[in-house]
Every structure is written in structure tokens, then in C-alpha cells.
Structure 1
Amino acid sequence: MQTSFRQYRSEAASHSHDDSHQIIIADLGMLELEIEGRGGCVSGRRLAFVPAGDTHAYRAVGMNRFLVLDVDTDVASQTGLERLWHQAGASPYLEVGAAYAGHLTSLLLGLEQRRAISRIQRISPDGQGNLQSENLSLLHIAGIATCESAFADNAFVCKTLREVLGHSATAQGRDADADQGIPMQLQRLLGWIELRLSEPIGIPEMAMIAAQSESALFAAFHRYLGTTPMRWLGEQRLQRAYAMLNDPKNTVPLGDIAREVGFTDQSAFSRAFSRRFGHAPIVLRRRT
């Protein structure tokens, strides 16, 4: 399996690949696609599964970054990825359930960490393929795990992809015009936030991703979403938590759910959840 982070141009291009399927996951921005005449896009929790041999055209607008996984057809069959894709509807455009969006984040972060480790190894290897002590210190300072065995083969990617595809469904009506009326800059920001609900996000970061001033950002949220950026962010976090708690297959502890939606304090999460939905999060879990 080949993995890479790519940026695409605004000029349309097309190609096909006969010996591998391609899975495209958004890290930033939106990629418009046409796969064998079927239009759609990759953004936020929406991903694309491009079957081997299918011709696909693509273009992106503005800042963008995507994780591209080229999965050999034999590997896809042996690991069950093809089967899960068919169970999800066999559409080239899939949407990951909100309760499982964290798996996309884990995949993006895990592969980015692997790239960072590889870069430092190339800079100063000890001749044995190991990291020298000063490089280990740099990784620890950066908060990057140095247990490279987790990324030594395709096991990590395949395991995460199975979770992602196992909780995906055909992206009904979510094509490139699904958010009609919302400017592309704002759509890019919303997709970026959707994959980072566990992280601290502030107005300066939002304005940078949207390529707007902070005042223009507030104006855009008010005009197109009827709220402020931070209120919208808070609502998305609580809605993600609700989806996780409402899924009987999701057994993640309450404290972990709080952290996954950006709360460092479980009590603060419970209070916010209760104010929004009228009952404590533990009550919803007991019902499922």
C-alpha cells in the first residue's frame, strides 16, 4: 500500500490506475471529482473510494491537502476492505458516521507522525536504521510517539480503514453543490474543523484556514450559518458526542468521548451536554 499527502491544482486533470484502488481522505479543503461520470467531492467526513480501472477527473480550489491511499487490489481483497466498501453501498463517495470521524483523524495524524519520524531518520541515522538520542528528544518534544513498530507495515492503515469503511454509508445528496450558497472558503474551514474537534481551535486559526480577516470570518458565519464561529464549534462538538453516545456499538469511555470532542474536563463536558440536550450524557448511554 502506498500512502501520500497531496495538494491538487485548480486545473482539471484525469487519469486511471488499473492495479490498485484509491482512497482519498480530506485533510484540508475540497476536491471535486468525477468518477466514471459520477460527480461528487471529498471534504470533511466525505471520502472517495476510486475502484481500480475507473477513469476519474479531479480539481481543487484554494488551499488543500489530501491523504491518498493506493491500495493494491489483492491487499484490498485479502484485508476485507473491498467487502466493507460494498457493504457501505459500493458508491465512489462515502460519508463516515459522525461517531467514527475520529478514526479519520487518527489515520491522518498517525501517518503524519510516521513521515516526521522518517524525515528525522534521514537527517541523522546512526547507521543501524535507528534514531539517535538527540532525535528521540526532538520527537518527544514534538509530542510524537517513537514506537515506530505501530507503523512498520500496513496493519495500522488497514485496521483504521476497516473501522472507517465499516461505519460509512453512501454520501446521499452530498455532491459538490451540497452546501450551495456557502462560499468555498467557509466550506473549506467547516471541513477542516470537522476533523479536528478534539483539538483546541481558536478564531485566529479559523481565520487563517478561511483566508479571511477575523471580522470577515464573523460576518460570514453570521450570514451563512446564523451564529458565531465559537458557538458553531461548540455545537459540532456536542453533536459529535451525542452521536458517539447514541451508537450502541461505540463503547468508548465517557472521559475519552469528552476529550475526543475537545473537552479537557469531563465535568465541564457533562454540564455543557446537559444544557444542550436536557440530560446528562450518562443517561443517553444507559438508553442505548
Structure 2
Amino acid sequence: MQTSFRQYRSEAASHSHDDFHQIIIADLGMLELEVEGRGGCVSGRRLAFVPAGDTHAYRALGMNRFLVLDVDIDLAAQTGLERFWYQAGASPYLEVGAGYAGHLTGLLQGLEQKRVISRIRRFSPDGQGRLQSENLSLRHVAGIAVCENTFADDAFVCKTLGEVLCHSAATQTDKADAGSMIPMRLQRLLAWIELRLSEPVGVPEMAKITAQSESALFAAFQKHLGTTPMRWLGEQRLQRAYAMLNDPQNTMPLGDIAREVGFTDQSAFSRAFSRRFGHAPIALRRRT
């Protein structure tokens, strides 16, 4: 998988690629797209999934930056990303559930930190006094400035993307499908929780915030997010921790990071992190 942060020009351009799908996530600004005649845009929680072989035109106005993931067709099939996309409606434009916006943030932050580390390692002597490029290259594609980074953790990226696509829905350009949208009071609860990941939050308090019974809260989470309230909360905490550990400027001790994401016991935090990401938090810090 090739990952890159790209800045698009205001002049319209178009192309297609046959051997990989492309996923575009907004970090800054808005990108106008037309995929095989279907118009839309990428901004905020709205991302694009451009299937391999589809011709797409694009342009952006003003300052902008987007994370672009070139996902090999075989990899997309093996990891289920293509299947998740079909389940989400098979539209080029998908709206990520409000409760999963943190996944996009964690992905952007994690890959940005790897990009910075790659830039630091960009040059190394070749033994004859010349400099060789390492991990990072800069190239220009029609209308795009591309900063490529091959130093990404594909397994983590695919897993995060799978969860994002699982909780996304095709955007409606003319009429919104009310049945697929997260109720406003649930959206307010998710935003409220994301600001309080370091605090003890329980189901009774969540139910009170949404003015409904605990059983109704569980039903709402299962219907709109496909999980339980506490599992969703635990995922947000671990995603926040992953982003913090990926930040080379963050020198907080592991115990402080654990408390920052709502764990009072560092050992419990390490176990939960290892189950979720396949390695201990200290291993991620050493790698970065």
C-alpha cells in the first residue's frame, strides 16, 4: 500500500489507475471530484473510494491537504476493504459515522508522524560522499504535489480503514436516507465523550445525556455503530493512545498516557493495547 499526503491544484485534472483502488481522506480543505460522471466532494468526515479503472477528475480551491491511500486490488480483497465498501453502498463518496471520526484523526496523525520520521531519515551517505534518498520521495502527478511515504504499518492502516468503512454510508447528493443517519442526540453524546476520554464515563451517564433508557442506548449503539457503548468508548481511548505514542514529540511516560485515555492501571492499559494492535505500547514508542 502506498500512502501519501497530497496538495491539489485549482486547475481541473483527471486520470485513472487500473491496478489499485484509491481512498482519499481530508486533512484540510475540500476536494471536488467527479468519478465516472458522479460528482461529489471530500471534506471533513466525507471520504472518497475511487475504484480501480474508474476515470476521475479533481480540483481544489485554496489551501488543502489530503491523505491518499493507493490500495492494491489483491490487498483490498484479502483484507475485506472492498467488501466493506460494497456493504457501505459502493458509492465513490462515503460519510463516516460521527462516532468513528476519531479513527480518521488517528490515521492522519499516525501516518503524519511516520512521514516526519521518514523526512528526518531522508538522506544518508552512500560511502562516496553522495546523499541517497531513504523512505521518502517527492514527485508531481498532474495537478498534485505528492509527498510519498512507504514507512506505514499496512496492517494497522487496513484494520482502521476496515472499521471506518464498516461504519460509513453512501452520501446522498439529493435526498438523505434518514434511516442510515445517526440521530442527533447520539451524535451529541459521541462528541461529548470524545472530549472526556480521560474521565470515568459509564452507561448510566451516557443514557442520561441522551435522555433515554440504558436498553434504548444499547439498541441505538448497536443499530448505528454496530457495537456497545463501552466497547466504542474503549476503542476511542486506544485510538487516542496510539496517536499519542506515534507522536515523537510526546515524551509522556506510559503511565501518564494510560491515565490520559482513561486507564487507572498501566498494566491493564498495556494488555488492552496489545490485544487491539498486536504489540505492546512500549514497542510502538521504541519503533517511532
TM-score by length of 1: 0.56
SS at match of 2:102: helix
C-alpha distance 108-152 of structure 1, shift in aligned 2 (>3 A)? closer
The residue that corresponds to 1:228 in the other structure is none
The alignment of Structure 1 onto Structure 2 pairs a total of residues equal to 190
Aligned residue number for residue 84 of structure 1: 84
Over 3 Å counting, the alpha-carbon distance change for 1:241 and 1:265 in structure 2 is farther
What is the one-letter code of the residue matched to 1:33? L
Matches within 5 A, 1:92-131: 92-122=92-122
Distance across 2 between alignment mates of 1:10 and 1:167: 31
**Distance in 1 between residues matched to 2:105 and 2:99, nearest whole Å:** 12
2:173 and 2:162 map into 1 onto residues whose CA distance is 24
Deviation at 1:269, TM superposition (A): 11
Q: What is the Cα deviation at residue 11 of structure 1?
A: 1.0
Looking at structure 2, the residues matched to 72 and 287 of structure 1 have their Cα atoms a distance apart, in angstroms, of: 35
In the alignment, the residues of structure 2 paired with residue 266 and residue 281 of structure 1 have an alpha-carbon distance, to the nearest angstrom, of: 20
Which residues of 2 match residues 50-199 of structure 1 at below 5 A? 50-122=50-122, 153-173=153-173
Distance 1:264 1:54, change over 3 A: closer
Does the CA-based 8 Å contact 2:3-2:152 persist in structure 1?
Answer: no
Match of 2:43 in 1: 43
User: Structure 1, unaligned stretches of length 5 or more?
Assistant: 128-150, 179-235, 245-256
Give per-residue Cα distances to partners, 1:228-253, cap 9 Å, x unaligned.
xxxxxxxx9x8645248xxxxxxxxx
Match of 1:191 in 2: none
Aligned-pair CA distance for 1:109: 0.6
Match of 2:195 in 1: 262
1:2-17 equivalences under 5 Å are 2-17=2-17
Structural RMSD (CA): 3.6
Secondary structure in 1 matching 2:52 = coil
Shift of 1:118: 1.5
The aligned counterpart of 2:189 is 242
- Rounded to whole Å, the distance in 2 between the matches of 1:286 and 1:169 is 19
Q: % of aligned pairs identical?
A: 69
In the TM superposition, 1:215-226 aligns within 5 A as: none
Assess, with a 3 A threshold, how the Cα gap between structure 1 residues 282 and 116 changes in structure 2: closer, same or farther: farther
SS of the residue corresponding to residue 18 of structure 1 reads coil
Q: How far did 1:119 drift?
A: 2.0
Distance 1:54 1:119, change over 3 A: same
Q: In 2, are the aligned partners of 1:263 and 1:269 still within 8 Å (CA)?
A: no
CA distance in 2, matches of 1:71, 1:162: 12
Aligned partners of 1:168, 1:104: CA distance in 2, in Å? 12
- Contact conserved, 2:207 with 2:217, CA < 8 A, in 1? no
Which structure has greater strand proportion? 2
CA–CA separation in structure 2 for the residues paired with 1:12 and 1:23: 19
Q: Which runs of 5+ in 2 are unaligned?
A: 128-150, 177-183, 222-288
C-alpha contact 2:89 2:170 (8 A) present in aligned 1: yes
- CA contact under 8 A between 1:23 and 1:47: conserved in structure 2? yes
Distance 1:57 1:284, change over 3 A: same
Instruction: Give the Cα separation in 1 of the matches to 2:123 and 2:210.
Output: 52
**SS of match in other structure, 1:157:** helix
Q: Distance in 1 between matches of 2:72 and 2:123?
A: 30
SS state of the match for residue 169, structure 1? strand
Q: Could you tell me which amino acid in structure 2 is paired with residue 36 of structure 1? A: E
Cα separation, partners in 2 of 1:263 and 1:281, compared to 1, 3 Å? farther
SS in 2 for 1:7: strand
* 8 A Cα contact 2:186 2:210, kept in partner: no
Higher helix fraction (1 or 2): 1
Tell me the secondary structure at the aligned position of residue 14 of structure 1: strand
Q: What CA distance in whole angstroms lies between the structure 2 residues aligned with 1:158 and 1:274?
A: 33
Change beyond 3 A, Cα 1:81–1:283: closer
